[in-house]
Amino acid sequence: MTGFLTLFFKELLRFWKVSFQTVVAPMVSTLLYLLIFYHVLEERIEIYPGVAYTLFLIPGLVMMAVIQNAFANSSSSVIQSKISGNIVFILLSPLSYRAIFCAYVLASIVRGLLVGLGVYLVTLIFFDAPLQLPIWALLFVILGSAMLGALGLIAGIWSDKFDQLAAFQNFIILPLTFLSGVFYTVHSLPMGWQYLSHFNPFFYMIDGFRYGFLGVSDISPYVSLLVVTLCLAVLSTLAIYMLKSGYKLRT
Amino acid sequence: MLPAIEVQQVRKCYGALCALTDIDLTIYPGEFFALLGPNGAGKTTLISIIAGLALADSGQVKVMGFDVIRQYQQSRRNLGVVPQELVYDPFFSVREILKIQSGYYGISDNDAWIDEILERLDLASKANANMRSLSGGMKRRVLVAQALVHKPPVIILDEPTAGVDVELRQTLWAFVRQLNRDGHTIILTTHYLEEAETLCNRVAVLKAGKLIALDTTNNLIGKMTDSNVLRLKLDPDVVPPGLQALQISHVNGIAELRIENFEQVETIIAVLRTARIHIVEMQLQQPDLEDVFVHLLSNHRKDGA
């Protein structure tokens, strides 16, 4: 237990020591998105009856910040350690692969929660956006950031250089996020795209979180919960398998 | 006696290139053991397999009786490794690094021992300095400290003195000798053969992934009898016919004679006296580990050809 806790606290310290970059910066950029979209679209679009566009957008942006930061936390930590070589200190230690997995993913959850909470609190200064069902919202933030933490671990282990990790981020994470309904409801899409959106696991994270936030969503929150939990289970299994087999870590 | 390290039939290939071929090696508790070989001989690969940083294709490795794969947690608890590369985590100070490293081994309260290691490695004044601000030699010492936080019975140092100044090298070896006297098994790889010769009681030589010698340092050197060389400055500068069979060279007024045992010196002096040749200077050159090393590597090359 001490080993796991140490690695977990080390991972927390690692991002906390550069919190301006890891916590404050994402809060600022999310807020910029919000203010710009508010300025351009507020009067023109109403997605759910009686729900203003900004109110629809806020949970999407909060979850987007959670997703991106949870992924960035584990992936950048692993690749930095790999490239600088200090990952040997973890590999030489008797830490079990489960402890390593849990420490990285839990640190990702904490960063996701912190950034999400920060973004939400800042939006409250400008907009009246009460949380309707906080337990649902919290559940999706935790599951979503755990899923992205596990995916970040996989991406960090798989990448041999920063370039590959950036590709992972730009060609997988970013499109899946932008096409998941952060800025729009999938019901506004043509049928074909609506159908495709249902294969995007990020859609369920955002939609489930939006349910917790607004009390309304595109699909049943239970379906979203099931899909996100399944995705988390699959990604966790893969990440643990990679750690156990020493894939790209123990040559 | 339970071996500290037991390597059995270990093989490791990267594609067609084999970094290690069927290595068998046993190192006993309390030994000060050197692993020698030219660059690319497989030393670091072997160490990586013992430490669990690399996985062998076949064979078995045990540390203090624990299999490095099946019982990896126990085997790693018994092992401290000082890696060859100067790696460090730029986010933390020296003390933070050592506390974190202790935590990885399940030790939550290790301050007394950390203070002692810092003191003995002359790092106490840098305890709160960030790793980035340290010189290369200091970083090297922190690596040694990191390998010792969990008081492992077996310590492996991979080229610990590469690029390190003379003073630090002395401090480091004094410390490592003390650890050996305290009962730790020490295994080191080094390019400085005189270090291996003065420190280690047993030596293994690797060449192209094969173990080409494994013996005590004294035995290895003892086998090099043909490397005893007697250097003479003579007046007049002539090597009498009776000694010409032993002559290796005779340039710049120095005659070099090969001798197989020390009794031969007596004969040589007698021959010179009879020939009325006066000895101005006399020097006996004995083989060192470097001669053994060169000899082994060149012989192996001939055998392999």
**Residue A89 confidence (pLDDT):** 95
Sheet holding B5-14, edge to edge: B17-27, B5-14, B58-63, B66-67
Residues in B touching A92 (Cβ below 8 Å): 51-53, 76, 79, 81
| Structure confidence by residue, pLDDT tens digits, B196-236 | 888 898 999 888 889 888 888 888 777 766 667 888 999 88
Does the beta carbon of A91 lie under 8 angstroms from any beta carbon of chain B? yes
DSSP string, A125-176: HHS----S-HHHHHHHHHHHHHHHHHHHHHHHHH-SSHHHHHHHIIIIIHHH
In a domain, A251, yes or no: no
| Structure confidence by residue, pLDDT tens digits, A10-67 | 999 999 998 888 888 988 988 888 888 888 877 766 777 777 888 888 999 999 999 9
Is B302's pLDDT higher than 60?
A: no
Please report which confidence band the pLDDT of residue B11 belongs to, taking 50, 70 and 90 as the band edges.
Answer: very high
Cβ–Cβ < 8 Å for A208, A202? no
Percent of chain B whose predicted confidence (pLDDT) is above 90 = 49
Instruction: Decide which of B150 and B197 is more confident.
Output: B150
| Structure confidence by residue, pLDDT tens digits, B56-69 | 999 999 999 999 99
First and final C-alpha spacing in chain A:
27
Please report which confidence band the pLDDT of residue B304 belongs to, taking 50, 70 and 90 as the band edges.
Answer: very low
Under an 8 A CB cutoff, do A85 and B103 touch? Answer: no
Residues in A touching B48 (Cβ below 8 Å): 251
- The residues, ordered by sequence, that sit 6+ positions from B191 with a Cβ below 8 Å of its Cβ are B159, B162
| Mean pLDDT, range B26-41, rounded to an integer | 91
Question: Where does residue A215 rank: exposed (0-12), middle (13-18), buried (19+ CB within 10 A)?
Answer: middle
| Mean pLDDT, range A57-82, rounded to an integer | 94
**Residue of chain A nearest B74, judged by CA positions:** A94
**For B101, which of A81, A89, A246 is closest by C-beta distance?**
A89
Percent of chain B whose predicted confidence (pLDDT) is above 70 = 96
Is B88's pLDDT higher than 80?
A: yes
Which letter does DSSP use for residue B300 in this model? H
Residues in A touching B73 (Cβ below 8 Å): 94, 96
Under an 8 A CB cutoff, do B53 and A10 touch? Answer: no
Residue A14 Cα, gap to closest chain B Cα (Å): 6
Under an 8 A CB cutoff, do A92 and B76 touch? Answer: yes
Under an 8 A CB cutoff, do A251 and B48 touch? Answer: yes
Does the beta carbon of A96 lie under 8 angstroms from any beta carbon of chain B? yes
| Mean pLDDT, range B173-197, rounded to an integer | 88
Is B300's pLDDT higher than 70?
A: no
Average pLDDT score over chain A: 91
In chain B, what are the domain boundaries?
A: 1-78+152-221+288-305, 86-151, 225-286
Sign of the alpha-carbon torsion through A58, A61, A67, A69: negative
Residue A74 Cα, gap to closest chain B Cα (Å): 15
Average pLDDT score over chain B: 88
**Residue A239 confidence (pLDDT):** 97
Under an 8 A CB cutoff, do B104 and A5 touch? Answer: no
Name residue B18's beta-bridge partners. B13
| CB count in 10 Å sphere of residue B241 | 9
Which residue range is the domain that position A97 belongs to? 2-245
- CA proximity to A168, closest of A230, A78, A108, A246: A78
Q: Round to whole Å and give the CA distance between B202 and B215.
A: 6
CATH ID of B1-78+152-221+288-305, from 3.30.230.10, 3.40.50.300, 3.40.228.10, 2.30.30.230:
3.40.50.300
Residue A16 Cα, gap to closest chain B Cα (Å): 10
Does the beta carbon of A3 lie under 8 angstroms from any beta carbon of chain B? yes
Cβ–Cβ < 8 Å for B33, B204? yes
What does chain B come to in residues?
A: 305
Q: Round to whole Å and give the CA distance between A222 and B232.
A: 96
Strands B229-235 and B254-258, sheet pairing: antiparallel
Amino acid at A229: T
Q: Give the lowest-confidence range in A92-106, B40-54, B281-295.
A: B281-295
| Mean pLDDT, range B82-104, rounded to an integer | 93
**Residue B246 confidence (pLDDT):** 85
Under an 8 A CB cutoff, do B83 and A88 touch? Answer: yes
Q: Round to whole Å and give the CA distance between B228 and B112.
A: 51
Does the beta carbon of A90 lie under 8 angstroms from any beta carbon of chain B? yes
Q: Round to whole Å and give the CA distance between B166 and B49.
A: 30
A:B CB pairs within 8 Å:
76
Does the beta carbon of A6 lie under 8 angstroms from any beta carbon of chain B? yes
Cβ–Cβ < 8 Å for B19, B12? yes
| Mean pLDDT, range B243-261, rounded to an integer | 85
H, E, C per residue of B114-136: HHHHHHHCCCHHHCCCEHHHCCH
- CA proximity to A37, closest of A123, A116, A130: A123
Residues in B touching A88 (Cβ below 8 Å): 53, 81, 83, 87
Is B161's pLDDT higher than 90?
A: no
In a domain, A250, yes or no: no
Answer whether the bond into residue B240 is a cis peptide, omega within 30°: no
Under an 8 A CB cutoff, do B92 and A13 touch? Answer: yes
Residues in A touching B106 (Cβ below 8 Å): 2-3, 94
Question: Where does residue B204 rank: exposed (0-12), middle (13-18), buried (19+ CB within 10 A)?
Answer: buried
Is B175's pLDDT higher than 60?
A: yes
Q: pTM (2 decimals)?
A: 0.87
Q: Round to whole Å and give the CA distance between B72 and B218.
A: 35
Instruction: Decide which of A178 and A101 is more confident.
Output: A101
Under an 8 A CB cutoff, do B55 and A95 touch? Answer: no
Instruction: Decide which of A33 and B162 is more confident.
Output: A33
Q: How many independent structural domains does chain A possess?
A: 1
Is B305's pLDDT higher than 50?
A: no
| Mean pLDDT, range B90-102, rounded to an integer | 94
Does the beta carbon of A242 lie under 8 angstroms from any beta carbon of chain B? no
| Structure confidence by residue, pLDDT tens digits, A207-236 | 999 999 999 888 999 999 999 999 999 999
Residues in B touching A14 (Cβ below 8 Å): 91
Which letter does DSSP use for residue B70 in this model? T
**Residue A153 confidence (pLDDT):** 97
Residue A167 Cα, gap to closest chain B Cα (Å): 25
